[in-house]
Amino acid sequence: MTSKIRTLVVDDESLARRGLIVRLQDFPQVELLDECQSARQALEKIIEHRPDLIFLDIQMPGMNGFELLREVKAKGIELPIVVFVTAYDQYAIKAFEVRAIDYLLKPVDHERLSLALERVTKNLAQRERNAQQERMLNLLADATGEDCEAILRKLADNENVGASRYPEHIAIKESGEITRVAINSIEWVDAAGDYMCIHAANETHILRRTMKELEEELNPNRFQRIHRSAIVNLDQIEKLCSRQNGEYHIVLKNGKELKVSRSYKERIKKLILST
């Protein structure tokens, strides 16, 4: 780890707090954010600072250490790493039940404190690795249209994650010629009788295929039906407009306006708000 461990010390006994803070000064990887003399004060500081680590006394007036952790979870805040510091050893089992990383008895000696901080450092490093993996999975999910669980299964089976069942190009036969049109360049598609008009990069191509067949080749994370006879590229949507008569229209980045049918209205609204 290159960043410092952002730390709170929570203890109602001032001498115990000061003694621990003095010992922590021997560890340059620790950044002391604040010291708290009550659990209530600690709750405010946790909300304010979101520390990586708290050294937490258990027996305190008003609210004890376990109750503090319940309050933090109740507010939907991710718990920092917890090292309990107490004069009593009867709480050890309960401390580990709430997933404290260590349990120190007062007065804390240098060697025992050093061991606790080694555990904290390893735990924070693992959290960072997990966060990086999650970010990578989300990027892969956005790029491939697959969910994270499916990507993890492919990785476990040594499969190619980049492989997608959706093609990057579509072949369109027109006037004896075959044109390869990049899927990403398609702005919208509308049906006209027994064929479709593919609007892409300021050109319109005629494709003799059903709307359903084409829809199965398009990634639903990028292309969505807005009408029985129209599909639109979500990346091309500039805005969604409502009319006085209750109808909805979307406006594409190229200025084209398309009607959204009532049956697709709510889905399109949700997709636009989530992108």
Mean pLDDT of 46-59: 95
Q: Mean pLDDT for the chain?
A: 86
pLDDT in tens, 187-231: 999 987 778 899 998 899 988 888 888 888 888 888 999 988 899
Q: Tell me, yes or no, whether 115 and 211 share the same domain.
A: no
Whether 248 is covered by a domain: the verdict is: yes
Query: What mean pLDDT do residues 132-155 have?
Result: 71
Residue 1 has pLDDT above 60, yes or no: no
The boundaries of the domain holding residue 240 are 169-274
CA distance 207 to 83: 66
pLDDT score at 176: 77
Specify if 123 maps to a domain.
Answer: yes
Using the predicted structure, report yes or no on whether residue 254 has a pLDDT greater than 60. yes
Distances (CA, A) of 107 to 15, 33, 85, 116: 10, 22, 9, 14
Same domain? For 123 and 175 the reply is: no
In this structure, what CATH number is given to the domain that contains residue 59? 3.40.50.2300
Same domain flag for 96 and 208: no
199 and 105 in a single domain? The answer is: no
Place of tokens 């309960």: 94
Name the DSSP letter for residue 100: -
Choosing from 123, 139, 155, the residue where a domain stops is 139
> What are the pLDDT digits (tens) for 70-84?
999 999 999 999 999
**Residue 235 covered by a domain:** yes
Task: Note whether 92 and 46 are same-domain residues.
Answer: yes
Residue 270, domain CATH: 2.40.50.1020
**Are 177 and 134 in the same domain?**
no
3-class DSSP assignment, residue 68: helix
Mean pLDDT highest for which of 116-120, 162-166, 232-236? 116-120
Q: State how many domains the chain has.
A: 2
- Is residue 144 situated within a structural domain? no
163 pLDDT above the threshold of 60: no
Mean pLDDT in residue range 106-114: 93
In a domain, 164, yes or no: no
Question: Pairing state of beta strands 195-200 and 237-242?
Answer: unpaired
145-171 mean pLDDT: 69
